[in-house]
Amino acid sequence: MDDLLREFLTETNESLDVVDVELVRFEQEPNNAKILDNVFRLVHTIKGTCGFLGLPRLEALAHAAETLMGKFRDGMAVTGAAVTLVLSTIDRIKQILGDLERNQREPAGDDRDLIAQLEHMAMQGAVEAAPAVSTGSLVYQVLERPLRPGEVSLDELERAFRETPGPQPTPAPAPAKAIPAPPPARRENKEEAADDGGKADGKVANQSIRVNVETLEHLMTMVSELVLSRNQLLEIVRRHEDSEFKVPLQRLSNVTAELQEGVMKTRMQPIGNAWQKLPRVVRDLATELGKEIELEMHGAETELDRQVLDLIKDPLTHMVRNSADHGLESPEERRRAGKPEKGTIRLSAYHQGGYIIIEIADDGHGLDVERIKAKAVANGLASEADVEKMSEAQVQKFIFAPGFSTAAKVTSVSGRGVGMDVVRNNIDQIGGTIDVKSVVGEGSSFTIKIPLTLAIVSALIVEAAGERFAIPQLSVVELVRAQSNSEHRIERIKDTPVLRLRHKLLPLVHLKKLLRMGDTGEPADGFIVVTQVGSHTFGIVVDSVFHTEEIVVKPMSTKLRHIAMFSGNTILGDGSVIMIIDPNGIAEAIGTLEGEESEDEAEARSASAGKMVSMLVFRAGSPELKAVPLSLVTRLEEIDCKKIEFSNGRHLVQYRGQLMPLVRVDETARIRSEGTQPLLVFSDGGRSMGLAVDEIVDIVEDKLDIEVVSTSVPGVLGSAVVKGQATEIVDVGHYLPLAFGDWLTRKELRADALTRNLLLVDDSHFFRNMLAPVLKAAGYEVTTATGADDALTRLKAGERFDVIVSDIEMPGMNGFEFAEAVRRDVRTARVPIIALSAVASPATVERGRQAGFHEFVAKFDRPGLIAALKESTVDWNEAA
């Protein structure tokens, strides 16, 4: 009985989910007999099984619903109210099933209310379907007309029950009164249909069977064991060269691999399983909110691990509810906005790399940026000033902040205090990400990116201090071999190891030191696993790197789960257990909040001047602290003073096959004559310059707010408070020309560039601060713009500029688009524009030329910029 009941529960629950979906479809296509047949058959099957198992409540309910649907089949008009009624019947059935599952028996209580409504509806339908029927009951019906289906009068109820004795009132007698002939015929139809249905079910059942998840898990473990045994055998055969086992073992090996793959496949399920409930949810919401909503679903067959599937079910439902409730407008609003009255929610899923991408998009009114701003300020998530500086995309991200709900009014649908932060948490837990894009008036779109499976990941096997570890391949960007005599070598800034990688300094961490294993020495040789977590990039130094392997992730023992560095453990092919490194934990441990900039960060930087910046703090000349943004420093060197040569009034040193000029911070600074001389090396376009300093103090991370802007002291941008100490922020740009002695050009320029108006467009606060004084010094009247939009606004407002200097990589409208926009406007079409870019590949230069840039100058190439400016303005003068 137990097994039978369990089987029944599983099957019925599944059938009911299908009924939900089908009914909603049916409501939209009331003439689709196929759908109706489908629904009818399912309900009929439920009814039949209930009778067999002796579940009278369920049977009665299913029977009443079936009767009503029978009417539909007979041609009764399908109304929203009728479908709602059937759906609520199904809800009741589910409720009873829930009790049944818990208590092994049907709960007490009765369902006369629903059954009466169903019968009433069926009767009404019968009258409608056959209006020319006898008088007696017609009067009876007419009297009831004003009542809504949900408001059946007590009299009517009493009557219905008096007329139909027994605990399971069949509705047949009532319609029989109205239409004496049809019922028997209909019965037959029904039975036929049911028979057909039975056959069809049989066919489906033959193609798939239900397997207990535990059985699958066990199977998986056994396969892992098999793999281990196979590997042991392979190891033995390897030692005996000409073994006759070789060929059969090879075969065993292949079969095992296929078996493993097959078993893993059984864990995969189509994402449609998580979507099944959504059409019903949306339909109910639409009714409740008085909206018209169409739910489109694409890619329901996309498969993912069932464990992941379970975890995203709820967040998905929540987000769809949100879209329906907050995203879409009411029909009137939509009409006013010139949109079709029916709003659309589009769900789509597809595979991309090792991830599955799920998108939830609606064509509603989009996120209300102003309201989000107000709310963010009210909730203390950001200051008013910060919010004003933020881009729309940044403001939109606030919806994921804890306790944030955009709904101004709390509805019964959503806004129950469960916000997007919960959704985001759930997604975070499975190593996924969520992002939002929204355009006011056009709609919002959420993109969720989650790994296909949590159970099997591709991992890089590395070794540190004699132990092996697995690093998930997904977060590994590249591998770099570090050797003390090669180009890639581990350098250090005080105690912090760093690696110069393509003109960036990459923070490094020695795995064995981090894990406090064995000796804490930090050898200069090793492999660097360049790892990316979110927007942070760092290098993990390991002793050796083996290979990548598909590993089966096993959770850490509860006794070890507190160790943030590990996300789990796994059994390798050779049978040994190794730890899986959690890159998030490592990122936190080394506090790497900076590093390579992602799009997001660049965006963030443009908006909040107070963003954290890594700075290299040093002393040179005076005892005051000086600092320069770490990202500008190419490398740190300590050179033997004997190698410093003095020629032509300048200090030079042989460096990497070139003569590199050394520059002092100011007059008071000295270049040492014995011992070693620490240098900050700045490189630009193949040229390097060494800034001699007395001592490198530290690398700190702090907000860079230049408080006192200096214009009088050359080489100093101003002062800022760095880690609580007043620090001079050094202007690297000042020293580059000093090193290369082409500042005569500058002087020359100063004379004829007399107060030309220059517009400097750069999203980076730092570059604006750095370049503006330089350009001013070169004789230009400088106006700064924080982005292309800002610049265009100024131009459109009629501000006149003689030359524009613009960054290329900017959030929102980029430099190319900006240049094109400037060129399109007649008033500004002839203003020369100079592009500033960190990357200047031939392709970008060409693209720049097409967009209308006069010149392409690398950032930090100050002489180049000054020369380009001079040329452009001369050109322009001549042309004018």
> Does residue 566 bind another protein (CB under 8 A)?
yes
CB of 582 to another protein, least distance (A): 12
Q: Which residue has the tokens 């963030």?
A: 604
Nearer to another protein, 234 or 422 (CB): 234
CA–CA separation, 150 vs 3, rounded Å?
Answer: 38
Which stretch, 218-226, 482-490, 596-604, 774-782, contacts another protein (CB under 8 A)?
A: 218-226
5, 268, 407, 571: which one contacts another protein (CB under 8 A)?
571
Q: How far is the CB of 580 from another protein (least distance, A)?
A: 12
Q: Shortest gap between Cβ of 539 and another protein (angstroms)?
A: 19
Q: Does 579 bind another protein (CB under 8 A)?
A: yes
Give Cβ neighbours of residue 700 (< 8 Å, ≥ 6 apart).
614, 615, 617, 627, 722, 723
Residue selected from 485, 558, 648, 712 as contacting another protein according to rule CB under 8 A: 558
- By CB under 8 A, residue 804 contacts another protein: no
Which x/- pattern over 453-472 shows residues binding another protein (rule: CB under 8 A)?
A: --------------x-----
Of 212 and 352, the one with the shorter C-beta distance to another protein is 212
Residue 567 binding another protein, by CB under 8 A: no
Q: How many residues line the site for another protein (CB under 8 A)?
A: 24
Does residue 559 touch another protein according to CB under 8 A? Answer: yes
Based on the shown chain and the rule CB under 8 A, indicate whether residue 590 belongs to the binding site for another protein.
no
The minimum distance between CB 514 and another protein, in angstroms, equals: 8
Which of 121, 508, 578, 620 is in the footprint of another protein by CB under 8 A?
Answer: 578
**DSSP 8-state code for residue 852:** T
Q: Give CA–CA dist 728/734, Å, rounded.
A: 14
- The 10 Å Cβ neighbour count of residue 579 is 19
The interface region with another protein, picked from 570-578, 609-617, 626-634, 798-806 by CB under 8 A, is 570-578
Q: Among residues 221 and 814, whose Cβ is nearest to another protein? A: 221
Interface with another protein includes 193 (CB under 8 A)?
A: no
Residue 295 DSSP one-character state = E
408 lines the binding site for another protein (CB under 8 A): no
Q: What single DSSP character describes residue 107?
A: P
User: Judged by CB under 8 A, does residue 394 bind another protein?
Assistant: no
- Of 9, 130, 176, 228, the one binding another protein (CB under 8 A) is 228
What's the min distance (Å) between Cβ of 358 and another protein?
A: 31
Q: Does 610 bind another protein (CB under 8 A)?
A: no
Q: Is residue 260 a contact point for another protein (CB under 8 A)?
A: no
Give yes or no for a contact between 184 and 143, defined as CB atoms under 8 angstroms apart: no
Q: Helix and strand tally (H, E) in the chain?
A: 29, 35
Which of 196, 225, 624, 695: binder of another protein (CB under 8 A)?
225
Task: Give the dihedral sign, CA 391/397/399/404.
Answer: negative
Quick count: other Cβ atoms within 10 Å of Cβ 557? 8
Convert 404-423 to b/e letters by CB count within 10 Å (16 or more is b): bbbeeeeeebbbeeebbeeb
C-alpha distance across the termini of the chain, in Å: 97
Q: With respect to another protein, which residue has the nearer C-beta, 23 or 578?
A: 578
Kindly tell me which residue out of 211, 222, 236, 726 binds another protein, with binding defined by CB under 8 A. Answer: 222
Query: Given candidates 410, 560, 641, 708, which one binds another protein under the rule CB under 8 A?
Result: 560
Indicate the residue among 470 and 730 with the shorter CB distance to another protein.
470
Cα–Cα dist 211/306, whole Å: 13
Question: In Å, how far are 108, 315, 836 from 306, measured between CA atoms?
Answer: 35, 15, 50
In the sheet that 695-703 helps form, which strands lie side by side, from edge to edge? 695-703, 612-620, 622-629, 725-730, 716-722, 708-709
Segment interacting with another protein, rule: CB under 8 A, options 93-101, 220-228, 806-814, 829-837: 220-228
Q: What is the enclosing helix (H) or strand (E) of 376?
A: helix 369-378
224 binding another protein? (CB under 8 A) = yes
Q: Which of 236, 385, 577, 839 binds another protein (CB under 8 A)?
A: 577
130 binds another protein (CB under 8 A): no
Q: Does 123 bind another protein (CB under 8 A)?
A: no
Q: Does 212 bind another protein (CB under 8 A)?
A: no
Q: Residue 239, interface with another protein (CB under 8 A)?
A: no
Dihedrals φ, ψ of 367, to 5°? -80, 140
Q: How far is the CB of 565 from another protein (least distance, A)?
A: 6
Partners of residue 650 on adjacent β-strands: 647
Q: Which of 566, 568, 569 is nearest to 578 (CA)?
A: 569
Buried b (16+ CB within 10 A) or exposed e, 770-784: bbbbbbeebbbebbb
Cα 474 from Cα 424, distance rounded (Å)? 20
Q: Does 265 bind another protein (CB under 8 A)?
A: no
Q: Spell out, one character per residue from 501 to 530, where the chain touches another protein: x when CB under 8 A holds, - when not.
A: --------------xxx-------------
In whole angstroms, the minimum distance from the beta carbon of 227 to another protein comes to: 10
Beta-bridge mates of residue 499: 490, 506
State the DSSP string of 30-73.
Answer: TT-HHHHHHHHHHHHHHHHHHHHHT-HHHHHHHHHHHHHHHHHH
Of the candidates 476, 463, 400, the one whose C-alpha atom is nearest the C-alpha of residue 436 is 400
Rule CB under 8 A: which residues touch another protein?
Answer: 221-222, 224-225, 228, 467, 515-517, 554, 557-560, 563, 565-566, 569, 571, 575-579
